Amino acid sequence: MIEDVRKKLFALTDEDFKAFNEKLVPGTGETIGVRVPKVRDLARELAKEDAEGFLNEMEAADGDGFYQEELMLQGMVIGYAKLSLEERFRRLDAWVPRINSWAVCDCGNSTLKFMKKYPEECFAYACKYLESEREYEVRFAVVTLMEHFVTEDFIDRLLEIYRKVGHEGYYVKMGVAWAVSVCYVKFPEKTRVLLEKESEEAGGLPDWTHNKTIQKIRESRRVSPEEKEALNRLKRK
């Protein structure tokens, strides 16, 4: 089945996108060059036709031999397929350690809409990966929480979690900055309290993440020019 799926992916190759993508996501293994919407279409097809067969074969195979798009498919099918919550968690535990780029992480993660139906269980599941030493496993947790839990019920817990993320990986820190910027757009008053902290020691974010967060907020079209100017004054030297 994997070989048939690979043939379908190669039939969708866009050489211009392949060259662009390899510059955007360098050093993460080979890519086929399939645009994400087409990967999603194939994931939906697989989820409907034989999700179990595809996921079983993927899990049984050596994870180092897959193209980026195949790893995306694995994560997406877990999100799109009709599975019990227990099975979703089991399938995710097989996929998350294989994540080798921000693109695989974020594209797979965004399909996990089921998490909103079981918020407490899924929040706890995502949080367990915050304890990992592996960069993309921590990013998975950070982005999962951002994608599915920036809500009134979870915002206070989220801000405290993001403040404490200690992994030094670049893609973790970028993920935290992105996540806190999303928190600001949705809950500006609560998030501003965090950004007004003068230092990490005073209960704020680390300097680099703090400044990157403000940069990302200022790039948002949902934030007024006045707010952007006020936030700019909170940047640290």
pLDDT tens, 169-187? 999 999 999 999 999 999 9
Tokens of 125: 């599941």
Total-model pTM: 0.92
Angstrom distance (rounded) from CA 188 to CA 227 = 10
In the predicted structure, residue 142 carries a pLDDT above the cut 90: yes
pLDDT in the model for residue 19:
75
pLDDT in the model for residue 14:
83
pLDDT in the model for residue 197:
96
Angstrom distance (rounded) from CA 104 to CA 236 = 32
In the predicted structure, residue 86 carries a pLDDT above the cut 70: yes
Tokens of 77: 């099918």
pLDDT in the model for residue 178:
97
Looking at residues 67-71, what average pLDDT do you find? 93
pLDDT in the model for residue 78:
97
C-alpha 202 chain-centroid distance = 28
For residue 147, the tally of other CB atoms under 10 A from its CB is: 19
pLDDT in the model for residue 17:
77
In the predicted structure, residue 165 carries a pLDDT above the cut 70: yes
Mean pLDDT over each residue of the chain, to the nearest integer? 93
Confidence of residue 223 (pLDDT cuts 50, 70, 90): very high
pLDDT, tens only, 9-61: 999 888 877 777 676 666 556 888 899 999 999 999 999 999 999 999 999 99
